[in-house]
Amino acid sequence: MLLRHTSKEVKEREGLTINPAKTCQPIGAMYAALGIHGCLPHSHGSQGCCSYHRSTLTRHYKEPVMAATSSFTEGASVFGGQANLLSAIETIFSVYDPEVIAVHSTCLSETIGDDLQQITKKASDDGKIPEGKYVIYASTPSFVGSHVTGYANMVVGMTEQFAVSTGEKNDKVNIIAGWMEPSDMREIKSLASRLGVKIVLFPDTSDVLDAPQTGKHEFYPKGGITIDELKTVGDSKSSIAVGCITAEPAAVALDKKCKVPFETVDMPIGLSATDRFIMALSKAGGVEVPAELTAERGRLVDVMADMEQYFYGKKVALFGDPDQLMPLTEFLLDLGMVPKHIVSGTPGLRFEKRMKEILERAPGANFKNGPQADMFLMHQWIKNEPVDLLIGNTYGKYIARDEDIPFVRFGFPILDRIGHSYFPNIGYAGSLRLVEKILGVLMDQQDRTALEEKFELVM
């Protein structure tokens, strides 16, 4: 009913995006900044921008997201927002007392040409930044890239502005987290602990956006990487960037500044990607993989083999963020499923190249990324070639409803369900949960549509 006006005929579009499969850079920068302990993100632009970003993150995580804004008015929109930001920095430190303010730009401030580096330096020179406090910044114009671009830019900003090298290497391994859930970051720390590898994970939103209810409000929850920890990443013996789009740019910046070698791996979603992550971490830490992780892997393989008849040959449409779509597509192929339509609103040649390699196992698949890779195109593709399963964020529910397709919510944002910030999607345990979710919706569809004589108790 909602989208049945979508036409089946696909036409090339150059200047029109319909129902984007992405959102804007500042929301990613805000999320990354929340991964620093005691950090207050600051949106250098209008109040409306900040309100949208806060509300979307709040709806996704079901947690109050705090952030400040430069509150541009007509004057700042014409003459620049330096005075607004200088005043904001002074007020924030005096009223909210964060350890660090993480400033990100917006369309408005970028169009005017505000120089965040110059304004931050002036704030320091004018004594508006108290001793022991910090202001970092990242350029995040909404008119290019997507939310994952903004996330990557802020992680680069925290790396360049905090990391130092003392010349003495320690025995730790940096893990630079791509855009993932707090539950996924907690799972990475758990995997490293079970491997016996000392790590520094950044950013780290666990215990920030999934903090427990204690009956007492904490403006700055206990989670997040501390500034002191961030400063040490320049002395780590190596880095692992978890995601070539959202994490690798920071690894490159750290290697350039502090000579910390790095390896880039896919986000550990699914069997193959998790294998590569575990082996990379094992190699970096110089340790053997313990039996308990091998057993955890075996349980995932066991379920994949037991349920193969429900997966095999099922056509799947999926949309979302590059660093998640690459290993997810690979995992679907490992399950015997057929990725048929894939859309990402985030542009990038790196993503295109990697997806083409993965999709060699799925000839005939439709794939597109960039501005015109939107939900309208996804719906058109599905109308022309129906699928058995749709995977993506909450915005896919309209297509799933209109086309009666089983739907697994995955990615950002998820606005109508809970669990994504509490249960991991990565590692062997997270992959097993993803298998269970896929099986659940497929079996529910089978039960719902089965003829009376085909309705089975045991499946």
CA dihedral sign of residues 53, 56, 60, 66: positive
Residues 418-449: tens digit of each pLDDT: 999 999 999 999 999 999 999 999 999 999 99
Q: Among 74-88, 138-152, 167-181, 301-315, which is the least confidently predicted range? A: 74-88
CA dihedral sign of residues 150, 234, 223, 133: negative
Specify the pairing of strand 100-105 against strand 68-69: unpaired
Neighbouring-strand partners of residue 69: 43
The CATH number of whichever domain residue 119 belongs to comes to 3.40.50.1980
Mean pLDDT score, 17-30: 95
Both structure tokens of 345: 């609103």
Residues 45-58: tens digit of each pLDDT: 999 999 999 999 99
| Cα–Cα distance for residue pair 353/137, rounded to 1 Å | 31
**Reported confidence tier of residue 458, pLDDT bands at 50, 70, 90:** confident
Three-state secondary structure call for residue 349: helix
Last residue of a domain, one of 156, 185, 211: 156
417 with 348, same domain? yes
Residue 300 lies in a domain: no
440 with 341, same domain? yes
Residue 189 lies in a domain: yes
| Cα–Cα distance for residue pair 250/214, rounded to 1 Å | 35
**Reported confidence tier of residue 75, pLDDT bands at 50, 70, 90:** confident
pLDDT at 222 over 60: yes
Q: Among 132-136, 209-213, 224-228, which is the least confidently predicted range? A: 209-213
pLDDT at 3: 64
Last residue of a domain, one of 125, 156, 187: 156
| Cα–Cα distance for residue pair 441/458, rounded to 1 Å | 16
DSSP classification of residue 225: B
**Torsion of Cα atoms, 34 then 39 then 45 then 51, to 10°:** 50
CB 79 within 8 A of CB 113: no
Neighbouring-strand partners of residue 252: none
Three-state secondary structure call for residue 240: strand
Cα–Cα nearest to 100, from 184, 224, 216: 224
Could you give the number of structural domains in the chain? 3
Query: Who's near 238: CB < 8 A, 6+ residues apart?
Result: 173, 174, 260, 261, 262, 263, 284
CB 230 within 8 A of CB 160: no
The helix or strand, by DSSP H or E, that contains position 310, with its residue range, turns out to be helix 308-311
| CB neighbours of residue 28 within 10 Å | 30
pLDDT at 15: 86
263 with 202, same domain? yes
73 with 143, same domain? yes
pLDDT at 74: 84
Summary mean pLDDT of the chain: 96
| Cα–Cα distance for residue pair 40/100, rounded to 1 Å | 6
Cα separations (Å) of 86 from 33, 91, 99, 103?
19, 9, 17, 11
**Reported confidence tier of residue 2, pLDDT bands at 50, 70, 90:** low
3-state class percentages of the chain: helix first, strand second, coil last, to nearest 5: 45, 15, 40
Mean pLDDT score, 384-407: 97
pLDDT at 198 over 80: yes
Residue 218 lies in a domain: yes
pLDDT at 110: 93
pLDDT at 459: 81
pLDDT at 206: 97
pLDDT at 297: 98
For the question of whether the overall pTM of this predicted structure is more than 0.85, the answer is: yes
pLDDT at 275: 98
pLDDT at 457: 87
Last residue of a domain, one of 107, 127, 156: 156
Find the domain containing 268 and state its range. 173-291
Q: What value does the CA radius of gyration of the chain take, rounded to a whole number of Å?
A: 23
pLDDT at 338 over 80: yes
Cα–Cα nearest to 336, from 358, 309, 312: 312
Q: Among 6-10, 373-377, 396-400, 401-405, which is the least confidently predicted range? A: 6-10
CB 50 within 8 A of CB 69: yes
Both structure tokens of 445: 């569809």
| Cα–Cα distance for residue pair 187/206, rounded to 1 Å | 10
